[in-house]
Amino acid sequence: MTKQTHDVDHELIEAATHIARTRCRGDNHTMAAAARARDGRIVTAVNAYHFTGGPCAELVLLGAAAAQGAYELDTIVAVGDRDRGVVPPCGRCRQVLLDYFPSLRVIVGGGERLRTVAIAELLPESYVWAEHQLDAEEAERLGTS
């Protein structure tokens, strides 16, 4: 597996850090995420913690991006409140991000180790949902449409 490291989008980290500092309050909102759409826009969101699980900031961001018409995301980062810095996505978020945006880049690490990697690098030997779906022609041929 070839590791591809891309330039770190510091503006994206600053946007997520600003949201974490100004919008994350108490135990319900402890993480912020920021993503750059392919058209250059930055979309931000915070998590919605709940004892039943609640969505992570990265998943809330997917809905916020869609609501703003940003359907092509290029890079994403999550930042913790209380100046915790960049936090890597959890396993569930990694899988969802891979399924929605297979070419997405994710900022991970901290300090001198801050880097941008392909989402697929965070899930080696992963299950890619789109690769296991029948296309319309194949579904019709098999009589499953």
- What would the pLDDT profile of 46-103 be if each residue is shown by its tens digit? 999 988 888 999 999 999 999 999 999 999 999 999 999 999 999 999 999 999 999 9
pTM given for the model: 0.85
pLDDT of residue 144: 62
pLDDT at 4 over 60: no
pLDDT of residue 1: 41
pLDDT of residue 116: 97
Residues known to be catalytic:
58
pLDDT at 122 over 90: yes
Which band of pLDDT confidence, cut at 50, 70 and 90, is reported for residue 141? low
pLDDT of residue 125: 81
Cα–Cα distances in angstroms (integers) from residue 60 to residues 43, 82, 91, 97, 107, in the given order? 11, 20, 15, 12, 17
Dihedral, CA atoms, 64, 66, 70, 76, nearest 10 degrees?
50
pLDDT of residue 98: 95
